[in-house]
Amino acid sequence: MDMSIVDKIGVLETIVKTPIYSVVGFAENRLIYLSTREGSRDLWSMDVETRQVRQITKGGIHGVAKPVEESPLVIYLKDVTKGREQHLIYKADSRTGGSEKLAEFTPMRIFGIAFDGEKIAFTGASQKDISLYLAKINGGIEKLYTLNTIASVTDLNDKYIVGSGMLKMDPKTMEIFIYNLETNEFTIYTPREKSINKAPALDKNKILFETTALGNNRLVIYNIEGKTLDEVKF
């Protein structure tokens, strides 16, 4: 179909102005989602009973931790250095839209963040190193372990923090890491050397993740305490 330059520009403007929506999860009885309806990529919440919609953030965010249904809070990241990817962590109330910094610290590049309703785990790169951190919802941050390689936190619970990254310094592979909050032990796990393992999610003492260890990408469950691996069957 022949189109003039003006028509092509008009089509592109329509596409660019079309809002993008992405569901993040639930915080209490509110659906949390990302949208560009006001121009920037921001967080919104919708009461699932009344369908009332509220904008949580303004001016754009960099990332967000998956919310939990037991808490009204949403934990998110903002680039505070205008494009240099140096982040601070904020908490917002999905009911009111009010937000504030989680804690005062020197901005760092944060690769992954998780929230369990009471605490926040994340990996971040400072000028000195790349480390695993734990923060409390009422403020205060503790460095747990120095990684010195790129890795992202994906989940945590009362006992464990899990994530994945280039933990064996091989850019062609990805391994799972497990941090035990009770013993402060950091463990690297891979079901097979040279495999790619990513997106670990916790269910008590079990980890669901994607791996190439069995051939094509497969979902498997690793029992941390029993040290057993089972493929997910559908």
Radius of gyration of the chain (CA): 20
Residue 130 lies in a domain: no
Residue 219 lies in a domain: yes
Same domain, 83 and 187: no
Same domain, 62 and 158: no
One-letter amino acid of 210: E
Residue 122 lies in a domain: no
pLDDT per residue as tens digits for the range 30-66: 999 999 988 889 999 999 889 999 999 999 999 999 9
Same domain, 212 and 107: no
Say how many domains are in the chain.
2
Residue 54 lies in a domain: yes
Residue 9 lies in a domain: yes
Smallest CA-to-CA distance from 151 within 219, 105, 108, 199 is with 199
- Among the ranges given (4-8, 213-217, 226-230), the one the predictor scored with the smallest mean pLDDT: 4-8
Q: Which helix (H) or strand (E) holds 6?
A: helix 5-17
CB burial class (10 A; 0-12, 13-18, 19+) of residue 154? buried
Domain boundary among 63, 95, 117: 117
Q: Residue 26: which CATH number?
A: 2.130.10.150
| DSSP-derived 3-state class of residue 150 | coil
Residue 65 lies in a domain: yes
Q: How much is the pLDDT for 4? A: 79
Question: Strands of 30-35's sheet, edge to edge?
Answer: 21-27, 30-35, 42-47, 53-55
Is the pLDDT score of 233 beyond 90? no
Same domain, 87 and 188: no
Same domain, 105 and 178: no
Residue 67 CA to residue 116 CA, distance in Å, equals 8
- 196: Cβ–Cβ under 8 A, 6 or more apart, which residues? 173, 174, 211, 212
Is the pLDDT score of 12 beyond 80? no
Q: Which domain holds residue 233?
A: 149-234
Same domain, 87 and 193: no
Q: How much is the pLDDT for 8? A: 64
Same domain, 153 and 107: no
Same domain, 15 and 111: yes
Same domain, 33 and 80: yes
**207, 164 in Cβ contact below 8 A?**
no
- In degrees and rounded to multiples of 5, residue 30 shows phi and psi of -115, 135
Is the pLDDT score of 230 beyond 80? yes
Is the pLDDT score of 173 beyond 80? yes
Residue 111 lies in a domain: yes
pLDDT (average), residues 183-201: 97
- Please state, in angstroms and as integers, the Cα–Cα distance from residue 172 to each residue in 38, 187, 196, following that order: 39, 20, 8
Residue 167 CA to residue 150 CA, distance in Å, equals 7
Same domain, 33 and 87: yes
Q: How much is the pLDDT for 2? A: 65
Q: How much is the pLDDT for 38? A: 85
Domain boundary among 117, 135, 164: 117
Q: How much is the pLDDT for 234? A: 80
pLDDT per residue as tens digits for the range 73-121: 999 999 998 778 899 999 999 998 889 999 889 999 999 999 999 999 9
Confidence category of residue 10, pLDDT binned at 50, 70, 90: confident
Instruction: Specify which of 82-86, 102-106, 147-151, 183-187 reaches the highest per-range mean pLDDT.
Output: 183-187
Residues in the chain: 234
Same domain, 91 and 180: no
Smallest CA-to-CA distance from 101 within 93, 110, 91, 112 is with 91
pLDDT (average), residues 177-203: 97
Domain boundary among 117, 140, 158: 117
Residue 34 CA to residue 12 CA, distance in Å, equals 22
pLDDT (average), residues 151-158: 97
Average pLDDT, the chain: 92
- Among the ranges given (47-51, 131-135, 173-177, 208-212), the one the predictor scored with the smallest mean pLDDT: 47-51
Same domain, 77 and 183: no
Residue 128 lies in a domain: no
